[in-house]
Amino acid sequence: MSEPTGLAGEAEKLDAADRLAAVRGRFVLDDVTYLDGNSLGALPAHVPARVEDVVRRQWGELRIRSWEESGWWTAPERIGDRIAPLVGAAAGQVVVGDSTSVNVFKALVAAVRMAQADGGDGGGGPVRDEILVDATTFPTDGYIAESAARMTGCGLRPVAPAEVPKVLADRGERTAAVLLNHVDYRTGRLHDLPALTAAVHVAGAYAVWDLCHSAGALPVGLDEHGVDLAVGCTYKYLNGGPGSPAYLYVRRDLQPRFDSPLPGWNSHAEPFGMRSDYAPGSGAVRGRVGTPDILSLLALEAALDVWDEDGVSVAAVRAKSLALTDFFLRCVAAYVPDGRVESVTPAAHAERGSQVALRCDDAGEVMKRLVERGVVGDYRAPDVLRFGFTPLYVGFADVERAARVLARTLAG
């Protein structure tokens, strides 16, 4: 075990040189080392006052008038446009609302419908009746994909992301849609979105990406890489608050063909026309369903203000994220006895998200003791300690402390 003061001293220097260090002051934090922002982002300090205004003035005083006067009605698209640059999308393609699970359902069913309509355009090939789903996906995507497959008459094939190109080469003519996670929730592995999207397109299928563990932590480049559809949550690296609504990206040129399985009145071309016939609106609004959840939406909108701070950008966040995870891996290697933990997060930057996952015996019990000692990560069954690094408010001293406390905890 090397001398802690060495790494602690290095942490101090890294924090002093960190151009994002000042942003930490925008969040409510205490002496806990919070490495669970990949589960629930910390509270931006200005959000409570904004929520109070929404409740007391917009709801309490303006009441129904707020649907227009406080911009409630257009919030799903307006806030979508705030998220868009963070995932590399031009305006008009992201809409906020519903949970990630519900958005996965919308996106996958719509993708299958587009793929099957393409075939019907005289392609002459076999019917596209298979959905490929990331075999290591966060479970809800798999459950929802199974339902989408069942309800569209498709089969569902779980495939490891690395195997997707091979499976597509073998049987891609049957593939309608491919649902992948940008970053694996358990291991923190970053999948190759540009290459996988290109492989899906070569096969003539549609790529649906789940950005829950990447948006706000690293560049996504939805437009640049020609992604078809994407979904993500907003309560991790976007700090939107517990259960804040998810978002749906539909690439602009696909919007006229986006045929939602949940065509609620909010997606109608004329929602207050109260027409019995459904006619979808134009643009991202097609992804809306029912009445938007205003308190949570507007808390999220406030939280996104942090991204307007000087020096805050996805590029800056990514650079710091890699420095933080690199430093954590170094500290763990230095402090923790050999063989006690094993990183399942890739060492290569190109394959790493913004978390480090350590396989460990008794991981559940170890995490419990870490939390008692003020280092908050989380446990993912069956054997992973998960530490998330939100560059907006995690510093290098946090990283060094977490590794130090982990070593002490593992030592008994």
Q: Which stretch binds its own copies (CB under 8 A): 15-23, 59-67, 188-196, 311-319?
A: 59-67
CB-CB neighbours of 3 under 10 Å? 9
The CA distance from 395 to 389, in Å, is 9
The CA distance from 244 to 293, in Å, is 9
The CA distance from 15 to 27, in Å, is 17
Q: Is 383 a catalytic residue?
A: no
Catalytic residue among 27, 105, 138, 387: 138
Whether the Cβ atoms of residue 207 and residue 231 lie closer than 8 Å to each other:
no
Q: Is 328 a catalytic residue?
A: no
Q: Is 52 in the site for its own copies (CB under 8 A)?
A: yes
Spell out the residues 6+ positions from residue 330 whose beta carbon is closer than 8 angstroms to its own. 7
Q: Is 233 in the site for its own copies (CB under 8 A)?
A: yes
Q: Is 368 in the site for its own copies (CB under 8 A)?
A: no
Q: Is 338 in the site for its own copies (CB under 8 A)?
A: no
The CA distance from 160 to 171, in Å, is 15
Handedness of CA 288, 281, 251, 109 (dihedral sign): positive
Whether the Cβ atoms of residue 248 and residue 95 lie closer than 8 Å to each other:
yes
**Minimal distance, residue 375 CB to its own copies, in Å:** 12
Catalytic residue among 106, 236, 320, 401: 236
Whether the Cβ atoms of residue 258 and residue 282 lie closer than 8 Å to each other:
no
Q: Is 299 in the site for its own copies (CB under 8 A)?
A: yes
Q: Is 294 in the site for its own copies (CB under 8 A)?
A: yes
**Minimal distance, residue 51 CB to its own copies, in Å:** 5
The CA distance from 140 to 137, in Å, is 8
Given 273, 311, 349, 365, the residue binding its own copies (CB under 8 A): 273
User: DSSP string covering 93-126, please?
Assistant: SEEE-S-HHHHHHHHHHHHHHHHHHHIIIII-S-
Given 6, 9, 256, 290, the residue binding its own copies (CB under 8 A): 290
Question: What is the Cβ-side half-sphere exposure of residue 382, based on CA atoms within 13 angstroms?
Answer: 1
Q: Is 317 in the site for its own copies (CB under 8 A)?
A: no
127 torsion bin: left (phi>0), alpha (psi -120 to 50), beta (else): beta
Q: Is 135 in the site for its own copies (CB under 8 A)?
A: yes
Given 80, 88, 142, 353, the residue binding its own copies (CB under 8 A): 142
Q: Which stretch binds its own copies (CB under 8 A): 2-10, 35-43, 203-211, 397-405?
A: 35-43
* Residue number, 88 or 261, with CB nearest to its own copies: 261
Q: Is 210 a catalytic residue?
A: yes
What is the footprint of its own copies within residues 196-225 (CB under 8 A)? Answer: none
Given 61, 121, 310, 338, the residue binding its own copies (CB under 8 A): 61
Q: Is 244 in the site for its own copies (CB under 8 A)?
A: yes
Catalytic residue among 27, 34, 185, 235: 235
**Minimal distance, residue 127 CB to its own copies, in Å:** 17
Q: Is 63 a catalytic residue?
A: no
Given 221, 226, 264, 346, the residue binding its own copies (CB under 8 A): 264
**Minimal distance, residue 145 CB to its own copies, in Å:** 10
Given 110, 144, 177, 331, the residue binding its own copies (CB under 8 A): 144
Q: How wide is the angle at C-alpha 129 spanned by C-alphas 125 and 134, nearest 5°? A: 120
φ, ψ at 249 (rounded to 5°): -110, 130
Q: Which stretch binds its own copies (CB under 8 A): 85-93, 123-131, 286-294, 315-323?
A: 286-294
CB-CB neighbours of 64 under 10 Å? 9
Place of tokens 């008794």: 362
Taking alpha carbons only, the member of 359, 41, 340 closest to residue 186 is 359
Q: Is 139 in the site for its own copies (CB under 8 A)?
A: yes
Q: Is 132 in the site for its own copies (CB under 8 A)?
A: no
* Residue number, 140 or 313, with CB nearest to its own copies: 140
Q: Which stretch binds its own copies (CB under 8 A): 28-36, 171-179, 324-332, 394-402?
A: 28-36
Joined together, the tokens standing for residue 249 give 């990206």
Spell out the residues 6+ positions from residue 408 whose beta carbon is closer than 8 angstroms to its own. 373
Q: Is 249 a catalytic residue?
A: no
Q: Is 242 in the site for its own copies (CB under 8 A)?
A: yes
Q: Could you list the active site residues? A: 138, 210, 235-236, 386
